[in-house]
């Protein structure tokens, strides 16, 4: 069996193979509630052949949404809509496929336009809202200046992650991924670029990671049966920003409070970042964390070819690979990977007459 298709244990949860769908915002929700778009999207992802489907960034309160279209889990309506979409997705997904939301808060990067509407901050006429963060520092010139959360507000925010986790358990998800990356609220606390606090929640690394740790503790209390993972930006790619060795310490602390995997991404907290992108451009960051912390790591970023994904696992550089844009382009990527690597996976009988074509497309001429 190719290494990419070998099962893996993440805490209490066995995942059928090493392929994960990376979380991807769809900007198609209605006040946080999954729409018909999500029903078709999740049904498709459940049939992709990936063992793990990380549903998009799912915000724990209304003002935590990036845009008016972002998914949330802060109301009964959001919970009911997510349940409906998940039940539909599970009905036809490849048996064993695990689903989880990526619980998040956009912090100072909230109140923005959808990317296809140009992104960037909403204007007052577009129903903009007051954003929040660790410190009152905007992401960039012209962006909203966030309100620096007071200590009681931080405590209340942590509770909101717990409330959303309780809802996630009732929806029927298998796991929760915490969004600690890409310049959103948890990363805003972690990074010295955006956290200039002088209380217990800022300054030293121990203080900057306190919010992430407390969020995980609260989620564990609220949803003790769900496996918890986290996505981190391993580095900011900016002078004076978060660096690899700090993330290693954060990962160790997260493991000690019950996190079962770390998805190793990078950047997102500064417009001045310089990221050299190319195939597998963040794999070395997953490898860096893996060599120093005894916890499964997931690599992500332009891992578009099945052979590359398989070699990352075979060479022990990461334990799983996550895929985003390749899945949008080819939602049967898992089938193609199986064919390319000479592995057989079950595909629905309705589609089996196309098996030879999947195989043919997987074999370079």
Ligand X SMILES: Cc1cc2nc3c(=O)[nH]c(=O)nc-3n(C[C@H](O)[C@H](O)[C@H](O)COP(=O)(O)O)c2cc1C
For ligand X, which residue of 265, 269, 270, 310 counts as binding (CB under 6 A)? 265
Q: DSSP 3-state assignment of 233?
A: strand
Tell me which residue of 300, 278, 280 sits closest to 21, measured CA to CA: 300
For ligand X, which residue of 38, 65, 98, 182 counts as binding (CB under 6 A)? 182
Is residue 302 a contact point for ligand X (CB under 6 A)? Answer: yes
For ligand X, which residue of 10, 57, 88, 337 counts as binding (CB under 6 A)? 57
Is residue 41 a contact point for ligand X (CB under 6 A)? Answer: no
Which residue lies nearer to ligand X by CB, 46 or 101? 101
Is residue 323 a contact point for ligand X (CB under 6 A)? Answer: yes
Minimum distance of ligand X from residue 233's CB (angstroms): 9
Pick the stretch among 18-26, 168-176, 216-224, 236-244 that binds ligand X (CB under 6 A).
Answer: 18-26
Please report the DSSP string for 271-286 in residue order.
TT-----STTTTHHHH
- Residue 196: alpha-carbon gap to chain centroid: 25
Considering 74, 139, 184, 288, which one is annotated as catalytic? Answer: 184
Are the CB atoms for 281 and 249 separated by under 8 Å? no
- Give the span between the Cα atoms of 5 and 341, in whole angstroms: 9
139 is catalytic: no
Minimum distance of ligand X from residue 70's CB (angstroms): 8
Pick the stretch among 127-135, 221-229, 233-241, 295-303 that binds ligand X (CB under 6 A).
Answer: 295-303
Pick the stretch among 76-84, 245-253, 299-307, 345-353 that binds ligand X (CB under 6 A).
Answer: 299-307
For ligand X, which residue of 25, 85, 110, 227 counts as binding (CB under 6 A)? 25
Are the CB atoms for 331 and 48 separated by under 8 Å? yes
Which residue lies nearer to ligand X by CB, 24 or 89? 24
Is residue 22 a contact point for ligand X (CB under 6 A)? Answer: yes
Is residue 324 a contact point for ligand X (CB under 6 A)? Answer: yes
- Give the span between the Cα atoms of 56 and 324, in whole angstroms: 10
Minimum distance of ligand X from residue 187's CB (angstroms): 10
For ligand X, which residue of 44, 48, 97, 102 counts as binding (CB under 6 A)? 102
Phi-psi region of 49 (alpha: psi -120 to 50; beta: other; left: phi over 0): left
Question: ∠306-308-313 over CA atoms, to 5°?
Answer: 95
Which residue lies nearer to ligand X by CB, 158 or 326? 326
Q: DSSP 3-state assignment of 122?
A: coil
Pick the stretch among 44-52, 242-250, 297-305, 353-361 that binds ligand X (CB under 6 A).
Answer: 297-305
Phi-psi region of 95 (alpha: psi -120 to 50; beta: other; left: phi over 0): beta
Exposure class string for 20-50: b at 16+ Cβ within 10 A, else e: bbbbbbbbbbeebbbbeebbebbbbbbbbbb
Is residue 244 within a helix (H) or strand (E), and if so which, with residue range? Answer: helix 244-256
Site for ligand X in 68-97 (CB under 6 A): none
Give the binding site for ligand X (CB under 6 A).
22-25, 56-57, 102, 179, 181-182, 231, 265, 300-302, 323-326
């Amino acid at each position: 069996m190719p290494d990419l298709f070998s099962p893996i244990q993440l805490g209490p949860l066995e995942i059928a193979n090493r392929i994960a769908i990376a979380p991807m915002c769809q900007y198609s929700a209605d006040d946080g509630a999954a729409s018909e778009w999500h029903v078709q999207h999740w049904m498709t992802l459940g049939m992709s052949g990936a063992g793990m489907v990380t549903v998009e960034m799912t915000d724990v309160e209304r003002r935590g949404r990036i845009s008016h279209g972002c998914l949330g889990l802060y109301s009964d309506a959001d919970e009911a809509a997510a349940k409906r979409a998940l039940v539909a997705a599970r009905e036809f997904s490849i048996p064993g496929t695990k689903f989880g939301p990526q619980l998040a808060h956009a912090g100072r990067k909230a109140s923005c336009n959808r990317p296809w509407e140009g992104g960037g901050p909403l204007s007052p006429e577009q129903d903009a809202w007051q954003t929040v963060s660790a410190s009152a520092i905007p992401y960039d010139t012209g962006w909203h200046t966030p309100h620096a959360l007071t200590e009681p507000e931080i405590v209340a925010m942590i509770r909101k992650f717990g409330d959303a986790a309780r809802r996630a358990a009732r929806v029927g998800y298998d796991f929760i991924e915490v969004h600690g990356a890409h310049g959103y609220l948890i990363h805003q606390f972690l990074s010295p670029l955006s956290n200039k606090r002088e209380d217990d929640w800022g300054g030293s690394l121990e203080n900057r990671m306190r919010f992430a740790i407390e969020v995980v503790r609260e989620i564990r209390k609220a949803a003790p049966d769900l496996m918890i993972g986290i996505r981190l930006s391993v580095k900011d790619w900016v002078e004076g920003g978060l660096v690899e060795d700090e993330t290693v310490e954060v990962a160790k602390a997260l493991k000690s409070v019950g996190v079962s995997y770390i998805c190793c991404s990078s950047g997102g907290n500064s417009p001045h970042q310089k990221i050299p992108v190319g195939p597998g451009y963040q794999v070395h960051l997953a490898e860096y964390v893996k060599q120093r912390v005894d916890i499964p790591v997931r690599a992500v970023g332009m891992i578009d070819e099945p052979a590359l994904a398989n070699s990352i696992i075979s060479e022990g550089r990461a334990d799983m690979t996550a895929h985003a844009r390749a899945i949008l382009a080819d939602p049967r990527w898992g089938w193609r990977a199986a064919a390319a690597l000479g592995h057989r996976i079950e595909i629905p009988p309705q589609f089996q007459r196309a098996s030879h074509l999947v195989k043919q497309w997987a074999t370079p001429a």
